[in-house]
C-alpha cells in the first residue's frame, strides 16, 4: 500500500463530523516513479485505488 487517506479521521481532527470514508492507494514506487517522471499528469490515471464510505443508511460500499 502506498497511502491511506482517512477522510473522516482528518475531519475529526479539525472538529468536523462525517460518516466513515477512507481511500487506499496502491502502487509500486519502483515501477511507477519512472513513468510519472516521464509524464507527471499520468499519475492521475495510473494509480490504482480503493475507496470506501458509509451511507446515511449505515450501508457500506467500496
Residue ranges per structural domain of the chain: 3-61
Q: What tens digit of pLDDT does each residue of 24-61 get? A: 887 778 877 888 888 888 777 776 677 777 777 777 76
> Residue 62's pLDDT is what?
63
What cell does 25 get? 492507494
Would the pLDDT of 10 be above 80? yes
> Residue 8's pLDDT is what?
93
Q: Where are the alpha helices (DSSP H) in the chain?
A: 7-13, 29-38, 43-46
Q: What tens digit of pLDDT does each residue of 12-26 get? A: 999 999 988 888 887
* Element containing residue 22 per DSSP (H, E): strand 21-25
| CA diameter of the chain | 44
> Residue 61's pLDDT is what?
64
What cell does 43 get? 499519475
The number of C-alpha atoms within 13 Å of 24 and in the hemisphere containing its C-beta is 6
Amino acid at each position: 500500500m502506498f497511502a491511506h487517506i482517512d477522510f473522516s479521521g482528518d475531519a475529526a481532527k479539525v472538529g468536523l463530523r462525517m460518516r466513515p470514508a477512507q481511500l487506499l492507494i496502491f502502487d509500486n514506487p519502483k515501477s511507477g516513479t519512472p513513468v510519472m517522471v516521464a509524464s507527471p499528469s499520468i499519475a492521475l490515471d495510473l494509480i490504482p485505488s480503493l475507496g470506501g464510505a458509509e451511507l446515511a443508511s449505515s450501508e457500506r460500499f467500496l
